[in-house]
Amino acid sequence: MDNFDFDLLVIGAGSGGVRAARIAAGHGARVGICESSRVGGTCVIRGCVPKKLLSYAAHFAEEFEDAAGFGWELGDRRFSWTRLIENKDREIDRLNQIYLQLLSNSGVALFPVHGKLIDSHRVQLGEDIVTAEKILIATGGRPWVPDMPGVELGITSDEAFHLKALPQRVIVVGGGFIACEFAGIFNGLGSAVVQVYRGDQILRGFDHDVRDTLAMEMSKKGIEIRLELNVTELIRTREGLITAKLDNGTELQADTVMFATGRVPNVRGLGLRDAGVHALPGGMIPVDEYSRTNLSNVFAVGDVTNRVNLTPVALMEGHAFADSEFGGSPRPVNHGLIPSAVFSHPPVATVGHAEKDAIRHYGKIDVYKSSFTPMKHTLSGRDEKTMMKLLVQASSGKVVGLHVVGMDAPEIVQGFAVAIKSGLTKQQFDLTTGIHPTAAEELVTMRTPIQG
């Protein structure tokens, strides 16, 4: 071991990399980490955190309107995009500092440069070459945009966080997590939003009731969802706007076009081939349950791998890797039943199978579904429904899917995810007393399946 500069060198200081570095250092390893951008990675710098802050900002528009039904009279309301972005940036700076502090407190050496593998033990860090017994690749992902004429006129979520002004009209391309979240943000803040998606309904892969409910609720809020359409070209107009040509021969105009058409692993200039690290077409690094690549001393965690792209998953993978390799307690990562949320307006949260998926896995399924007006909107007058759905394996009574669209869905589902992960049955749900009056009590009081 002493022949190497480090026991562990981590490439990429995002959620997974920082967690792995800190835990390994805590186990006594000599750890280095390199990062060519800001420490914190996608989640902290240009993902989950700033996105959620913008989402909060956008929700206020409806909160102000809803207040009237509760007797509040509000005066003039003005929104400053500049102030929001400045405040958001200040918070991101604060979190970045905390991450830097965490690394230095753990005794991890930070190299603020790009890392490139030379071979399985040597990494080029700027002008220097360092050696490490083990290497962890945690370089994350970056937005991917389809190739088309004028594509450079569009932006991705990376740039959306730094726009100089709130666009009056936005075209959001895509129907996934980021597209739905930003459609809600821009719409809530006052932009006119058209969301263009190539499929027959947004959020492919989610339960069909979730997809339909969210599309309906987003439309009610004024987002124009255009399905089964592709943007084929972007053209700058003389007035400085952007014309988006669509594959049905029509055009749309906006001042901002945002592509939310997926993300790809960050493997550019990483030297994977030189080092002999196997990658799949598209760049994803295949790993086993211990995050091992095809090379015995090179590992990978997070969005750069062929697994689920979520921050808590990267954290889990980074932590398990460090415990396994440096803590003397090898443990695989359990990727089963990962809850997730889309911070759309209204939000979506889900754990377990979608209905069609559940039927494929378990055969006969009892479906419990409820769609209701949340109590708040009895006085606010807002036309917004909450949808909740439980999928139960008929033979065992086990709850195998739980889906919520509506206010507080992510907060609700986080708690229920423990029950689903623990394999609880519908009967055990029924034995649980509801908290009244809440929306979540619906999940323990649904008694009659809609089919089955």
Contact call for residue 232 and ligand NDP (CB under 6 A): no
Residue 195 or 324: which CB sits closer to ligand NDP? 195
**Which position's Cβ is nearest ligand NDP?**
176
Helices (H) and strands (E) in the chain, counts: 13, 21
Residue 12 or 175: which CB sits closer to ligand NDP? 175
Q: Please answer whether residues 255 and 242 qualify as being in contact, where contact means their C-beta atoms are separated by less than 8 angstroms.
A: yes
Cis status of the peptide bond prior to 374, with omega within 30 of 0 = no
Taking CB under 6 A as the criterion, the residue among 162, 204, 220, 331 binding ligand NDP is: 204
Residue 8 or 179: which CB sits closer to ligand NDP? 179
Stretch that binds ligand NDP, among 19-27, 90-98, 197-205, 244-252 (CB under 6 A): 197-205
CA distance 421 to 352: 8
Instruction: Considering only residues 91 through 120, tell me which ones interact with ligand NDP, judged by CB under 6 A.
Output: none
Contact call for residue 198 and ligand NDP (CB under 6 A): yes
Q: Which one of the listed residues 121, 335, 361, 436 is annotated catalytic?
A: 436
The two tokens of residue 151 are 């594509």
Contact call for residue 11 and ligand NDP (CB under 6 A): no
Largest CA distance in the chain: 72
Number of amino acids touching ligand NDP (CB under 6 A) = 23
Integer-rounded Cα Rg, in Å, for the chain is: 24
Q: Please answer whether residues 400 and 352 qualify as being in contact, where contact means their C-beta atoms are separated by less than 8 angstroms.
A: yes
DSSP-assigned letter for residue 93? H
Contact call for residue 199 and ligand NDP (CB under 6 A): yes
- φ, ψ for residue 173 (rounded to 5)? -100, 125
Site string for ligand NDP, 209-228 (x = CB under 6 A): --------------------
Taking CB under 6 A as the criterion, the residue among 225, 252, 260, 392 binding ligand NDP is: 260
Q: Is 450 helix (H, G, I), strand (E, B) or coil?
A: coil
The two tokens of residue 447 are 């008694």
Site string for ligand NDP, 141-180 (x = CB under 6 A): -----x---------------------------xxxxxx-
Q: Please answer whether residues 80 and 165 qualify as being in contact, where contact means their C-beta atoms are separated by less than 8 angstroms.
A: no
- What is each CA distance from 28 to 109, 290, 438, in whole angstroms? 13, 20, 47
Taking CB under 6 A as the criterion, the residue among 161, 206, 343, 368 binding ligand NDP is: 343
- What is each CA distance from 149 to 107, 131, 186, 244, 263, in whole angstroms? 48, 44, 25, 10, 20
Contact call for residue 230 and ligand NDP (CB under 6 A): yes
Is 436 one of the catalytic residues?
A: yes
User: Whole-number minimum distance, CB 231 to ligand NDP, in Å?
Assistant: 7
User: Whole-number minimum distance, CB 83 to ligand NDP, in Å?
Assistant: 24
Amino acid at 324: S
Nearest Cα neighbor of 173 from 92, 110, 256, 291 is 256
CA distance 292 to 280: 15
User: Whole-number minimum distance, CB 21 to ligand NDP, in Å?
Assistant: 23
Residue 34 or 196: which CB sits closer to ligand NDP? 196
Residue 131 or 230: which CB sits closer to ligand NDP? 230
Instruction: Considering only residues 278 through 337, tell me which ones interact with ligand NDP, judged by CB under 6 A.
Output: 309-310
- What is the β-pairing status of strands 231-236 and 386-393? unpaired
Taking CB under 6 A as the criterion, the residue among 19, 46, 263, 389 binding ligand NDP is: 263
Taking CB under 6 A as the criterion, the residue among 10, 225, 342, 400 binding ligand NDP is: 342
In 87-182, the DSSP E strands lie at 109-111, 115-117, 122-125, 128-137, 141-143, 169-173
Residue 123 or 349: which CB sits closer to ligand NDP? 349
User: Whole-number minimum distance, CB 175 to ligand NDP, in Å?
Assistant: 4
> Which positions ≥6 away from 260 have C-beta within 8 Å?
143, 156, 157, 172, 173, 174, 176, 177, 178, 179, 182
Residue 203 or 446: which CB sits closer to ligand NDP? 203
Amino acid at 55: S
Amino acid at 376: K
Cis status of the peptide bond prior to 437, with omega within 30 of 0 = yes
User: Whole-number minimum distance, CB 126 to ligand NDP, in Å?
Assistant: 30
Taking CB under 6 A as the criterion, the residue among 341, 349, 399, 443 binding ligand NDP is: 341
Residue 413 or 420: which CB sits closer to ligand NDP? 413
User: Whole-number minimum distance, CB 197 to ligand NDP, in Å?
Assistant: 6
Nearest Cα neighbor of 109 from 191, 41, 7 is 7
Stretch that binds ligand NDP, among 67-75, 101-109, 183-191, 260-268 (CB under 6 A): 260-268
Q: Please answer whether residues 171 and 254 qualify as being in contact, where contact means their C-beta atoms are separated by less than 8 angstroms.
A: yes
Stretch that binds ligand NDP, among 9-17, 105-113, 195-203, 411-419 (CB under 6 A): 195-203
Active site residues: 436
Chain residues binding ligand NDP by CB under 6 A are 146, 174-179, 181, 197-199, 204, 230, 260-263, 309-310, 340-343
